[in-house]
Amino acid sequence: MNISVLLFVIIAIIGVSFFAYNIWKIKFNIGLGLPEERSDQKGARLKTMLLVAFGQKKMFSRPIPALLHLCLYVAFVITQIELFEIFTDGVLDEHRFFRSSLGGLYTFTISFIEILSVSAFIATIVFLARRNLLKLPRLKMKEMIGWPTKDANLILIFELILLICIFTMNGADEVLFQRGASHAEMGTNGSFGFSVSSILGPILFDGLSTDSLHIAERVGWWGHLIMVLGFLNYLPYSKHFHILLAFPNTYYSNLEAKGKFSNMDSVTKEVKLMMDPTADPYAAPDPGTPPPSRFGAKDVTDLSWKNLMDAYTCTECGRCTSSCPANITGKLLSPRKIMMDTRDRLVEVGEAKRKNGKDFEDGKALLGDYISEEELWACTSCNACVDECPVNIDPLSIIIDLRRFLVMEESKIPNELTGMLTNIENNGAPWQFSQNDRLNWANEE
Amino acid sequence: MQVPTMAEMVAKGEQPDILFWVGCSGSFDDRAKKITKALVKILNKCKVSFAVLGSEESCSGDPAKRAGNEFTYQMQAMMNIEVLNGYDIKKIVTACPHCFNTLKNEYPELGGDYEVIHHTQLIQDLINTGKLTLASAGTFKGKKITFHDPCYLGRANDVYEAPRQLIAKLDAELVEMKRCKSKGLCCGAGGAQMFKEAEKGNKEINIERTEDATATNAEVIATGCPFCNTMMTDGIKNAEKEGTVKVLDVAELIANAAEL
């Protein structure tokens, strides 16, 4: 085994293992959530995933970013073929291993990848411009200050470097081939005939000596590999994790009517007991019954695993916030911030629990330390955020669960709503009208 | 106005085809009562066999549930389900999308399984089956009407077409707001906001939404929700356009066009 193969294998193993470790951590964190049944209706789930994640269906309500995003998405998916060859070459110490066996198909595939890479390059530049020059309002909101903005720009820069590596590799190799010095076919003069690099290569690299070209080609090759592994390991720390989680997250989408809020079974039990005249209020609970859980959510561990997966899937695009009636009219609520807060708090809780044991409490909570009551009470439960999300994230269910805790555990509720609830309890309407008068309208003119 | 109650029906040994769930707004709010009456006129005109619960009806629990008080919600829901199941109700129509959503989607888990429809769906059916005919040269012929999608009818339950098809029957020109259907902007009343002051911001949501509506130059803002009606009416008052723009429920438009 020569030194470059050894180096390749070591780098690949380190990169993949570290990624696997981070995935395990995220899986552990999502597992901190409460159970929620989302494994039924497999056909409908698969269809949702194919349409929404794979087919990008919901992106297209905003066509310009949708098209730009599609360029990156398709290029990303198809480029994995080239990555497969890089791995094969790296392990076998080959150069363009599949070229001789695939022939024309190889030329076509790499040409296709190159065209997609050019479109991805342009899209990335436009995305950078949208964030930094055009300063799109939804990308410049309060919650985006600091790390989120840096994160977004870093991702785009990584992508540019990756694309530059691809063209350096293919371009330099093209010129080498023209000089009869490519390792793909040593001693033969020719052109790979790839769509972009056969033109771009000579323009960029013709001035270099053959030795320098070999170095440039290797820089592109190793650069590509290191960028891919680096990027892979950056993902778990970044909003960009959506490229992986978009698929499971849409698969486990809520398939029920959006207006249906979850039924709290724990409350049903209590209410039934309350309404049952034969119930013994002093009866001891069955020895097998689990201790009563908290009503609603105070912290991330009171949310369902799907809420937590939602949080990791969010790529902070802000479509939810830009369609939120409360946010549009200047209120504090931003559904995107709800998701970011949930994720940030989950990372914190997960880290602490792994360090100090699973029962460790740090005295902080999602409610209060991250999300304020004012944000929660601004929500009109209109479902615009849920409808907008291109990867079917549901910020509303988190908002409602936090409200439930505030109201049922802490009795913290705006004054007017206390009145409304008292009226419902006393006279069966949110206003102070007698239930006996409900039909008065029939006799009024 | 002839409005049979379930108690009266059962005393006579009769069972109506459909229960009209009036809701709190429809029962007590002066503006919403007009919508209730418009719908009853349509039901009576078409000889629909219906009844109301009257004093046996109670809040569906929607605002309590949205406000986070699941206890109050479930107590309401369970009491209502007792009454509804006691009368062996199979089908319910309501003019309130909040009641509609709660009865349709949230009651089943507590033992209340009914076919629940919104009044625009019922009226659409009455017209399609020829039970209701509209006067040919209706009041709204050629007028511009825009429809504000109630969140709990549209996004929450994917009902977008029934109200629009009814507006089309008026020979009116349906003009859509820039934010409509699944992208429609909330009026600001949902999620129990109807019963509280809005949080601090720089604008009221209903003002923002009314601007969407007035930008279409429509003479009528049609709604299908008593809360939306209140919010849009307030928005029009705020814009001092009461003279030129009317806020009406789809049931009122149809009752008017059918000369009821």
Every domain of chain B and the residues it spans? 6-124, 133-257
CB-nearest to A438 from B1, B55, B191 is B55
The residue written with tokens 């439930």 in the block is A404
A52-61 pLDDT, tens digit per residue, is: 999 999 999 9
Report CA dihedral (A107, A109, A111, A112) to the nearest 10 degrees: 160
What is the predicted pLDDT for the residue at A268?
Answer: 93
A84: left (phi over 0), alpha (psi -120 to 50) or beta: alpha
Q: Nearest C-alpha of chain B: how many angstroms from A445? A: 9
Q: Confidence class of residue A293 from pLDDT cuts 50, 70 and 90?
A: confident
How much is the CA Rg of chain B, to the nearest whole Å? 18
Per the CB < 8 Å rule, is B209 touching A421? no
- The one-letter code for the residue type at A402 is L
Taking the Cβ of residue B128 and every Cβ of chain A, the question of whether any pair is shorter than 8 Å is answered with: no
Please tell me the distance from the alpha carbon of residue A369 to that of residue B247, in angstroms, as a whole number: 43
Q: Which of A280-289, A357-366, B5-14 has the lowest mean pLDDT?
A: A280-289
Taking the Cβ of residue B178 and every Cβ of chain A, the question of whether any pair is shorter than 8 Å is answered with: no
What residues 180-209 of chain B have any CB closer than 8 A to a CB of chain A?
Answer: 182-183, 185-186, 188-205, 207-209
CA atoms within 13 A on the CB side of A379: 31
Structure-model confidence comparison of residues A299 and A135, the more confident one: A299
Q: Nearest C-alpha of chain B: how many angstroms from A146? A: 24
Q: What is the 3-state composition of chain A as percent helix, strand, coil, each rounded to the nearest 5?
A: 65, 0, 30
H or E element, residue A160: helix A147-178
Give, in order, the Cα–Cα distances in Å from A111 to each of A98, A164, A186, A204, A246.
14, 16, 21, 18, 28
Fold of the B6-124 domain: Rossmann fold (3.40.50)
Domain A47-57+264-269+295-411 CATH assignment equals 1.10.1060: yes
Please tell me the distance from the alpha carbon of residue A389 to that of residue A284, in angstroms, as a whole number: 46
Fold of the B133-257 domain: Rossmann fold (3.40.50)
CB-nearest to B57 from A384, A438, A443 is A438
List, in sequence order, every residue forming a beta bridge with B115; answer none if it has no partner: B91
Please tell me the distance from the alpha carbon of residue B249 to that of residue B228, in angstroms, as a whole number: 9
B97-109 pLDDT, tens digit per residue, is: 999 999 999 999 9
Please tell me the distance from the alpha carbon of residue B205 to that of residue A65, in angstroms, as a whole number: 27
A56: left (phi over 0), alpha (psi -120 to 50) or beta: left
Structure-model confidence comparison of residues A54 and A291, the more confident one: A54
Q: Nearest C-alpha of chain B: how many angstroms from A300? A: 17
CB-nearest to A268 from B52, B67, B110 is B110
CB-nearest to B65 from A261, A382, A425 is A261
The stretch A113-141 carries a mean pLDDT of 95
What is the predicted pLDDT for the residue at A276?
Answer: 84
Q: Under a CB-based contact definition with an 8 Å cutoff, are residues A177 and A185 in contact? A: yes
List, in sequence order, every residue forming a beta bridge with B51; answer none if it has no partner: B19
Set of chain A residues whose Cβ sits within 8 Å of the Cβ of B5: 439
Helix B119-128 and helix B250-257, axial crossing angle in degrees, nearest 10: 30
Q: Which two tokens stand for residue B92?
A: 């319910």
Cα angle A170, A174, A180 (rounded to 5 degrees) comes to 140
Set of chain B residues whose Cβ sits within 8 Å of the Cβ of A433: 24, 27-28
| Cα A415 from chain centroid (whole Å) | 37
Q: Nearest C-alpha of chain B: how many angstroms from A358? A: 29
Please tell me the distance from the alpha carbon of residue A188 to that of residue A108, in angstroms, as a whole number: 21
Nearest to A198 by CA among A169, A175, A182: A175
What is the predicted pLDDT for the residue at B137?
Answer: 59
Set of chain A residues whose Cβ sits within 8 Å of the Cβ of B181: none
The backbone torsions φ and ψ at residue A280, rounded to the nearest 5 degrees and listed phi first, read: -95, 110
- The one-letter code for the residue type at A94 is E
Please tell me the distance from the alpha carbon of residue A203 to that of residue A205, in angstroms, as a whole number: 6
Return the number of CB contacts < 8 Å for A and B: 216
Please tell me the distance from the alpha carbon of residue A333 to that of residue B179, in angstroms, as a whole number: 20
Domains B6-124 and B133-257 share a fold: yes
| Percentage of residues in chain A having pLDDT higher than 90 | 88
What is the predicted pLDDT for the residue at A180?
Answer: 92
Q: Nearest C-alpha of chain A: how many angstroms from B142? A: 30
Q: Nearest C-alpha of chain A: how many angstroms from B145? A: 23
In three-state form (DSSP H/G/I as H, E/B as E, the rest C), the secondary structure along chain B is CCCCEHHHHHHCCCCCCEEEECHHHHHHCHHHHHHHHHHHHHHHHCCCCEEECHHHCCCCCHHHHHCCCHHHHHHHHHHHHHHHHHCCCCEEEECCHHHHHHHHHHCHHHCCCCEEEEHHHHHHHHHHCCCCCCCCCCCCCCCEEEECCCCCCCCCCCCCHHHHHHHHHCCCEECCCCCCHHHCCCCCCCCCHHHCCCCCCCCCHHHHHHHHHHCCCCCEEEECCHHHHHHHHHHHHHCCCCCCCEEEEHHHHHHHHCCC
Largest interatomic CA distance in chain B: 57
Q: Under a CB-based contact definition with an 8 Å cutoff, are residues A189 and A156 in contact? A: no
> What's the sign of the alpha-carbon dihedral A179, A183, A185, A190?
negative
Domain spans in chain A, listed from the N-terminal domain onward: 3-30+62-238, 47-57+264-269+295-411
Mutation site, B2, B70, B206, interface A, largest A CB count within 10 A:
B70
In terms of pTM, does the model score above 0.90? yes
Q: Confidence class of residue A1 from pLDDT cuts 50, 70 and 90?
A: low
Set of chain B residues whose Cβ sits within 8 Å of the Cβ of A377: 196, 199
The stretch B232-260 carries a mean pLDDT of 96
A23-50 pLDDT, tens digit per residue, is: 999 999 999 999 999 999 999 999 999 9
Q: Is pLDDT above 80 for B201? A: yes
Q: Under a CB-based contact definition with an 8 Å cutoff, are residues A360 and A32 in contact? A: no
B125-138 pLDDT, tens digit per residue, is: 999 999 999 876 57
> Which residue in A has a C-alpha nearest to residue B101's C-alpha?
A259
CB-nearest to B68 from A272, A404, A424 is A404
